[in-house]
Amino acid sequence: MITSTSGITALGTVLGVWAHPDDEAYLSGGLMALARDAGSRVVCVTATRGELGTADPWTWPPPVLAARRTTELARCLQVLGVTEHRWLRYSDGGCAGVDPAEPVGRLAELIDRVRPDTVLTFGPDGVTGHPDHRAVSAWTTAAFDEAAPAGARLLYAAVPEAFATRWAAIDERFGVYLPGYPVTTPADRLAVDVVLDPGTADRKVRALAEQRTQTAGLIAELGVRTYTEWVAQEAYVERALHPLVDRPAVTSG
C-alpha cells in the first residue's frame, strides 16, 4: 500500500479518466502534482464540460457554464503541473445514455498510445453514485481490459471507512453523495491511502480554488483550514478488491 507522498513515484505514468471538471482535482489532485514533480507523465481525461453543474442555471446557462469550466479546469491543471489533457465531449448528465462502444474505443486508443503504468478512475459506485461517474468507470474498465499494457494497474477512487465517518456531517450538509452512498472500503483493502503533506495539500486547494464555480461557496462556508483537511486524503483500491466488483452496485432508487 502507498501511504506516503514519497511512494507516488511507484505509480509510474498515470492516466486519469473522470466525468466532470473538478473530479480529477478532488480525487487525484495531490497524486497528479506529486507525480509531475517526480518527473512522471500524467494524462488527464474529462468526459464532459460539466455544463449542468450549478444550482443557478439562470446565471449559468449550460453553454456559458461549459465555457467557464473549460477555462477553470485549464487553470487548475496548470497549478498541478499537468500539461496533457483530453476532452471526450459528452453531455453532462448524459454519459449513462451513450452507446459505450464509442467511448470505450476512444479510451482504448488513448491507453494504447499513452501506455500507462497506472489508470485512475471511479469505481463502479462512482464514489458519489452519480450516473456519469458510474458510466465513466464502466468505459474505462472495459478500455483497460482491451488495451492496457502488461503489468498496468487499474485503481478505483475509494472512500475509506474512517474518512466517511470523520466527514459524515459535512458530506451530508453539502449533499456530496446520492442516497445509499458512499460505498466505503476498509483500510486494509486500500492500495493507496495518502494524507497529503501541507505543501501539496495547499497546492491542491489552490488548484481547486481555480474552479470557482464549483468550489468558491464551499471554501467560503468551511474556511480554508477545514476545507484543506477535508480534501487532503486521497485513496484508491485495486479493481479486484473494490467492494462492488463482485456484487451489484448500490442504486439511488
Tens-level pLDDT at each residue, the chain (253 residues): 998 888 999 999 999 999 999 999 999 999 999 999 999 999 999 999 999 999 999 999 999 999 999 999 999 999 999 999 999 999 999 999 999 999 999 999 999 999 999 999 999 999 999 999 999 999 999 999 999 999 999 999 999 999 999 999 999 999 999 999 999 999 999 999 999 999 999 999 999 999 999 999 999 999 999 999 999 999 999 998 898 885 444 443 3
The answer to whether the beta carbons of residues 177 and 16 sit under 8 Å apart is: no
| Start-to-end C-alpha separation, the chain | 35
Helices (H), the chain: 23-37, 62-80, 101-114, 131-147, 161-166, 168-173, 198-209, 212-222, 224-231
Evaluate whether residue 250 is within a structural domain. Answer: no
Domain count, the chain: 1
Asked, for residue 253, whether it belongs to a domain, the answer is no
Specify if 86 maps to a domain. yes
| CA 183 vs CA 13, 16, 60, 143: distances in Å | 28, 21, 32, 24
Whether 248 is covered by a domain: the verdict is no
Q: Residue 27 falls within a domain, yes or no?
A: yes
| Residue 37 to residue 101: CA distance in whole angstroms | 35
- CATH value at residue 127: 3.40.50.10320
Residue 251 located in a structural domain: no
What backbone torsions phi and psi does residue 171 show, to the nearest 5 degrees? -60, -40
Distances (CA, A) of 128 to 62, 123, 157, 242: 22, 10, 10, 15
Residue 73 belongs to domain spanning: 5-241
CA angle 24, 201, 47 (to 5 degrees): 5
- Cβ distance 2 to 193 under 8 Å? yes
* Residue 29 belongs to a domain: yes
All cell numbers assigned to 98: 451513450
